[in-house]
Structure formats: structure tokens, C-alpha cells
Amino acid sequence: MNVPTMAELAAKGESPEILFWVGCSGSFDDRAKRVTKAFVKILNAIGIKFAVLGTEEACTGDPARRAGNEFLFQMQAMSNIQVLNGYNIKKIVTACPHCFNTIKNEYPELGGNYEVIHHSTFLQQLISDGRIKIEGGVFKGKKVTYHDSCYLGRANNIYEAPREVLQALDADLVEMKRCRTTGLCCGAGGAQMFKEPEKGNKDINILRSEEALATGASTIAVACPFCMTMMTDGVKNKEKEAEVKVKDLAELIAEAQGL
Amino acid sequence: MAVLQQIVFIITLGVAVFLIRKRILRIRSTIQLGKQTEISGDKMARLQNLILVAFGQRKMFKKFIPAFLHFFIYVGFLVINLEVLEFVLDGVAGTHRLFAPYLSEFYNVLMNLFEFLAVAVLLACIFFLLRRNVLKLARFWSAEMTQWPRLDANLILFIEIVLMTAILTMNATDQILQTRDAHYVNTGTLFFSAYLIPLFQNFSTPALMVVERLAWWFHIVGILGFAIYVTYSKHLHIFLAFPNTYFAKLEPKGHINNMPVVTREVKSMLGLESVTTPAGEPGRFGAKDINDLSWTNLMAAYSCTECGRCTAECPANLTGKTLSPRKIMMDTRDRLEEVGKSLAVGGAGLNDGKTLLNDYITKEEINACTSCNACVEACPVMINPLEIILELRRYVAMEESGSPAQWNSMFQNIETSFAPWKFSAADRFNWAKEQ
Ligand code: SF4
Ligand code: SF4
């Protein structure tokens, strides 16, 4: 797989069209790594000049800030901003809504100003520009439901781009009762991903997975690595993993294109 | 007799104004315990929120039926207050229906409009009482809705019903008196109260005068009493919803407020800036008590209507955790009232050995929040319970190092391997080599 790093490009005196910010999940989590690779395949297939930071990338600090550790967050943010500014980065695309939100909304106050795009919006733009053409209709008539990530939806008002991607796939999009502005969280945000939930009568991801399964969709589309983990676990807990797949938008496009 | 009424009225009005003023000053001074925050951003955008969300009730209209009925109560409140102006002037000057001669025919139109609103308010309040107490809508019965909040809500609805009935009774008796005594200015037919006329038709003129006066007094004293009561009640949103929407956060909901104090320290640690310690007390990191929160958070606590729309959408609450965003706001308000009361009598105030964190809001509650913003989205008056939760978490993490153990490990992982999991930073790019 061709994955150029910023260091390589800079050494050749080149600059990329976009910087692909991979994020911690996309770099380390086995399931999320498949999404990262699917996205890279799409970029390579349509010939977008991109680069990643590779080992120069570090956690944006999102979970630290949300768990209350502002020092740690700002340490992370400032050193990331130093790296990004050092390479004179202008445009960042990421598949993680948490990285997206932090870099887009929280880095400017600390000196990091970039155009930040989530991959759902980016893919939707590529589709409407005709740079991604979907043929073959792998998903034609298949029931797909979309789970809104809080950090895309309510946090940043991105509700339609992911849905337009699914519609472009010719899938039969079915909505859960709680969707868009009232979409139910998967349970991972606010640093919950990194600890056991408090005492209660149910785990949030189980409740959300039940809602997704109730639509009868055979695919639960997500656009966030945390939602991916939570929904996959929820579907497994309900012993539905054979019939129902949890997939990221990038994976669905890569699949439709036979990549 | 008339002069006596005038004197009694002026005294009543004076007492009410005095009590209301005292409460307003108390509330203002407790809100001022909060931190001063810079109110930045586009004034027009703030005004737009005020007009659309507070005046226009835009967020209420996500649920049509209650929004529609609430809208009548709201318009009724705004418009009937015009009539209260006439009441007050009549009371002070000893006149009767002072505005009637000046407005001539239009007075009849106005009175009919008031009556229409009075009937609409009456019906809406009956519906809301039934919804609360007979249908027992779940969000009005959850854990933090203890006896007082439930009674408060019912009292308000009940008082409104009584006040509206008084207006209609007064107008009905007044219309009969108009046919019998020249002192009663002709208002023309008043559509709704006309239906009550048969009830009073057989009364003697003096008896009608007494009923009319009683209804008048009942209404105006009721309204003044209500105005005082409101300042102790969740009903304060009728005033504070307006500033609250104006001062609500304008950034995307995902944005968390920056801490410039930390920025300065981190910059100097990274050698990006020479250390310039700002003058004054360093202050706490995050919030332990109300004075660590921004004054806008405190005003929000007074603006909360306890409607529970936030809690009904909260994923933590929906799955049985103790966290409830409504409780966060109610606790903040209760603590404010406690401190305010104590300060007013020269008591210990903030130093009474209690704090918002721990004595009111537990760590278990704040730890359960997913920062999903469902509560913020749901609130019809643009309250942000998440801001308070995050400030409390900041205190626990930075002042107490008291975050859950798994979060502390996560912090450590980020410090040492630049990822929340224990992976080697050198392996970050391995994915590109894997198949
Ligand atoms: S942000 Fe926190 S308190 Fe608000 S709804 Fe989500 S989990 Fe509940
Ligand atoms: S915070 Fe807003 S939504 Fe929640 S109870 Fe108060 S007014 Fe209702």
C-alpha cells in the first residue's frame, strides 16, 4: 500500500493536497485499522495526493480534555500544532469525529488553524464532484441504517453528508427512531471509551444496538472508530454478528468499488 | 370607601415591589458569585438566539402539542400584563377601567383578546395538570423530582387557573353592572365572560359590586403574589430564559472552553513563551463550588424550568445511571440559594463546609457523562449542563487527581506513548505495512 509520510514529501520539497490524520484508533485498533486502509485505498484509487504524519502523529488530547485533564490535553495539542505548523499544513482530513472536532474547534485557540474535514464530508464531496463513481450496485436494495456520531452530529451539525454517501451507494436507508439531532450516543464519548461504565441497568451501547437492530437493517453504518467498537460489541452481545455487519462509510465505498 | 381602597392598594403594591426587589437583588448577588467570563462573538447571532429561541420558542416547537399550549400561556402572560398595567393605574388613581375612554371601540377588541387568552391559558393549564398528575409523564416523576419540585409545578398551574377565573368573573359581573350603574364604563359585549352572566344575573346590585371588587382585588393581589412566588420557583424562566439564550454559547457544541491559565503554563513548559505570571490569585483549576463556575452557568441554573427534556434524552440516565443533567442544574440552583441565604444573614456563605461537588453532585454522576450534548440540544432555553459537568471533572482531575483509575492509566498512556492505549509510539505507523 502506498502511504507517503509528510517527512518523505517534505524531503522532496513537495506538499500534499490533504493531510490524512489517522488518529489513535485508526493507527492501533485492529478493526479501525481496516477503515484506515479502506480510506487509503480510495485516496490512491482516485489519485489524491495525500500524506500522513506516521510516527510524528500523537493523540489529539480529546479524551484527556473530556476527562478533565486540561494540562495533558494542551501538552498534546501544542506539540501536535508545532508539528502541523512545521509542515505548513493547510487541509486535514480525518476518519475520526473526535480528532475532527478537536483539531477543528479547539486547536485554533492554541495556534493551530487548518481547514479540517471529516471523511464523511470529504467522501460525499468526491461523490458529488464525480471523482468517486459507484457502479455495480453491490448495496442496491440492501437495508442500511446510519448511526449518528455525537461528535459529527450534535457537536458539529454534520447530519446529511454521511446519509448522502449511503444514498449514493443505492442502499435502502432506514432511520432509527432516535436519529440526527436526537440520535442516541453509542456510549463511548467523553472518555467513556477508556473506562468501565458507572452502575446502571444497561450499557449504553446495548441500548443503541437494540435500536439499530430493530430497524431490520443488515448493515449498521458508522462514521467513527469509537461508535464502531461500541456497536460491534453491542451486535455481538445480541448474537447477531452473523447477519448484521457494522461498517464504516469508507469501507462501504471501498467495497462498492471492489477495492 | 374609594379612598380607603386606594390607600390599601398603594400599600399592597409598595410591599410587593419591596419584596420583589429584595429577591431580585439577592438572586443577582448570588449570580455574581460566579466567575466573570468574556462574552465574545457575534452580537447579532446572540440576538438571533434570543428572538428565535426565547421569543419564538423555536426549540419548544419540536414537540408540537405541549409547545402549542405553552405558547398560549406565554402569550397570555405577555399580553395580560398590559391589563395589569391598567389594574395598577386604576388601583392607584381610584379609577375604573382607566383606558376605556381613550381606546373607545378598540378597548372592546382588546378586552375580548384578553379573555380569549385567559380561556386558552386556563385550558392549557388544566391539560398540563392532567399530563403531570394523571398521565404521569415519566420525566416529571424521575428521581430528582422530589416533593417540592412537583408541588412547585402544580402550584404554578393552579394559581394561573385561579387568576384567569378571577378575570372572567370580574368581567361577567362588570357587564351586568354596566346596565345598572353609570359608574361602570361600557365595554361592549365580552364574548367569553358573557357566558358567565347567567350565574350572576339574579344578584342584587350591591352584591354584584362586592363580587366585582373581590375578583378585581383577587386578581391583582394574586398577580403580585405570583410575581413574588416566581422568584422562589422554577418559574423564573419566564424572565431569565431571555438573557439565558442571549448569553448561550455560540461555538459548535463539540467545543470545550479553553483554560488560558493552563495555556500559559504549558507554553512556558514547552519553552514557547517566557513565563509571565499574571497578577492576582491563581485560583482553582476547574470547579468545586458555585463560585468556580462562570456567572452564565449560575444564571442558567436559575433559568431552568425543570422540564426534564434534557434528562429524557441523556444516554446515561436512560440506562439507569445516577447522572441526570436536570439534577445538575437543580443542584447548582439549590447550592446558590443556600449560599445566598446564608450570606444575607451574615453567615458563612461559601465557607459553610459544603461544596457543590460531593455535597450535591457526586463523582459517580459526573463520571458517567459521555459529553454527547443530547441535553444541550434538548433544552428549550439553551442551558448547557455539560459545561458544569466538565468543570467539575477538571477539578477532580487536576486538583485532586481523583479521576477513575482507568482514566488515570489513560492519562499515563497518553503521556508516555502518545495514545490512550499502552502501545509503543514507534508502532504507530505499522498499519501501513500490514496487509
Ligand atoms: S452530555 Fe452528558 S449529561 Fe448531557 S445528555 Fe450526554 S451524557 Fe447526559
Ligand atoms: S436544563 Fe433545560 S431541558 Fe433540562 S430541565 Fe432545565 S430547562 Fe429543561
Provide the CATH number for the domain around residue B289: 1.10.1060
Q: Are residues B152 and B214 in the same domain?
A: yes
- Give the global pTM: 0.96
Ligand at shortest distance from the CA of A151: 1
What total of structural domains would you count in chain B? 2
> What confidence score (pLDDT) does residue B159 get?
94
* B321: nearest CA partner in chain A: A200
Distance between CA atoms of residues A44 and A2, nearest Å:
7
> What confidence score (pLDDT) does residue A137 get?
78
Q: Report the residue of A6, A22, A27 to disrupt the B interface, i.e. the one with the largest count of B CBs within 10 Å.
A: A27
Q: Are residues B69 and B171 in the same domain?
A: yes
- The answer to whether B371 contacts A66, with C-beta atoms less than 8 Å apart, is yes
Give the DSSP letter of residue B278.
P
List of chain B residues whose C-beta atoms are within 8 Å of the C-beta of residue A210:
none
Closest residue to B321, CB basis, from A64, A78, A200: A200
List of chain B residues whose C-beta atoms are within 8 Å of the C-beta of residue A105:
251-252, 254-255
Per-residue pLDDT of chain A (259 residues; tens, 9 = 90+): 899 999 999 999 999 999 999 999 999 999 999 999 999 999 999 999 999 999 999 999 999 999 999 999 999 999 999 999 999 999 999 999 999 999 999 999 999 999 999 999 999 999 999 999 987 678 888 999 999 999 999 999 999 999 999 999 999 999 999 999 999 999 999 999 999 999 999 999 999 999 999 999 999 999 999 999 999 999 999 999 999 999 999 999 999 998 8
The reply to whether B237 falls in a domain is no
Nearest CA to ligand 2 atom 8: B307
Distance between CA atoms of residues B229 and B192, nearest Å:
29
The reply to whether B134 falls in a domain is yes
The reply to whether B13 falls in a domain is no
Q: Are residues B217 and B259 in the same domain?
A: no
Q: B262 at the A interface (CB within 8 A)? A: yes
Using CB atoms within 10 A of its CB, is residue B283 exposed (0-12), middle (13-18) or buried (19+)? exposed
The contacts of residue B419 (CB under 8 Å, 6+ apart) are A24, A27, A28, A58, A59, B413, B425, B428
Q: Are residues B223 and B254 in the same domain?
A: no
ipTM over 0.95: yes
> What confidence score (pLDDT) does residue A135 get?
79
Question: Cβ(A8)–Cβ(A56) under 8 Å?
Answer: no
CA A214 from chain centre, in angstroms, equals 24
- The answer to whether B377 contacts A182, with C-beta atoms less than 8 Å apart, is yes
Closest residue to B251, CB basis, from A33, A58, A105: A105
Q: B281 at the A interface (CB within 8 A)? A: no
B306 lines ligand 2 (CB under 6 A): yes
Can you list the domains of chain A with their CATH numbers? 6-124 (3.40.50.1860), 133-256 (3.40.50)
Q: Are residues B94 and B164 in the same domain?
A: yes
Q: Are residues B258 and B201 in the same domain?
A: no
Q: Are residues B222 and B256 in the same domain?
A: no
Distance from CA of B37 to the nearest CA of A (A): 16
State the distance from the centre of ligand 1 to the C-alpha of B375, rounded, in angstroms: 6
**In terms of Cα–Cα distance, which of B122, B108, B141, B144 is closest to B362?**
B144
Atom index in ligand 2 nearest the CA of residue B303 equals 7
- The answer to whether B419 contacts A189, with C-beta atoms less than 8 Å apart, is no
Quick one: residue A224, left, alpha or beta (phi over 0 = left, psi -120 to 50 = alpha)?
A: beta
Place of cell 352572566: B197
Q: Are residues B225 and B101 in the same domain?
A: yes
Note down the domain range covering B114. Answer: 54-230
The reply to whether B322 falls in a domain is yes
Q: Are residues B328 and B212 in the same domain?
A: no
List of chain A residues whose C-beta atoms are within 8 Å of the C-beta of residue B428:
27-28, 54-55, 57
Nearest CA to ligand 1 atom 6: B372
Closest residue to B377, CB basis, from A66, A154, A194: A154
Residues 311-350 of B with CB under 8 A from A: 313, 315-316, 318-323
Count contacts between A and B (CB, < 8 Å): 209
Give the DSSP letter of residue B257.
-
The reply to whether B238 falls in a domain is no
Q: How far is CA B358 from each of CA A233, A250, B355, B361, rounded to the nearest angstrom?
A: 33, 45, 7, 5
Identify the segments of chain B with pLDDT beneath 70.
Answer: 1, 274-282
- The answer to whether A57 contacts B428, with C-beta atoms less than 8 Å apart, is yes
Question: Cβ(A102)–Cβ(A109) under 8 Å?
Answer: no
Q: What does the block give as the cell for B143?
A: 428521581
The reply to whether B186 falls in a domain is yes
Q: B399 at the A interface (CB within 8 A)? A: no
The reply to whether B25 falls in a domain is no
Q: Are residues B330 and B365 in the same domain?
A: yes
List of chain B residues whose C-beta atoms are within 8 Å of the C-beta of residue A78:
266-267, 270, 272
Ligand 1 pocket by Cβ (under 6 Å): B 313-316, 323, 325, 369-375, 385-386
In angstroms and rounded to an integer, the radius of gyration of the C-alpha atoms of chain A is: 18
Q: Report the residue of A194, A210, A226, A230 to disrupt the B interface, i.e. the one with the largest count of B CBs within 10 Å.
A: A194
Q: B143 at the A interface (CB within 8 A)? A: no
**In terms of Cα–Cα distance, which of A241, A237, A246, A229 is closest to A30?**
A229
The contacts of residue A78 (CB under 8 Å, 6+ apart) are A110, A111, B266, B267, B270, B272
Sheet of strand A18-21, all strands in order from the earlier edge strand to the far edge:
A50-51, A18-21, A91-94, A115-118
Atom index in ligand 2 nearest the CA of residue B329 equals 1
- The answer to whether A74 contacts B266, with C-beta atoms less than 8 Å apart, is yes
Q: Are residues B123 and B183 in the same domain?
A: yes
Q: Are residues B254 and B224 in the same domain?
A: no
Closest residue to B419, CB basis, from A28, A71, A101: A28
The reply to whether B294 falls in a domain is yes
Distance between CA atoms of residues A209 and A212, nearest Å:
5
State the distance from the centre of ligand 2 to the C-alpha of B304, rounded, in angstroms: 5
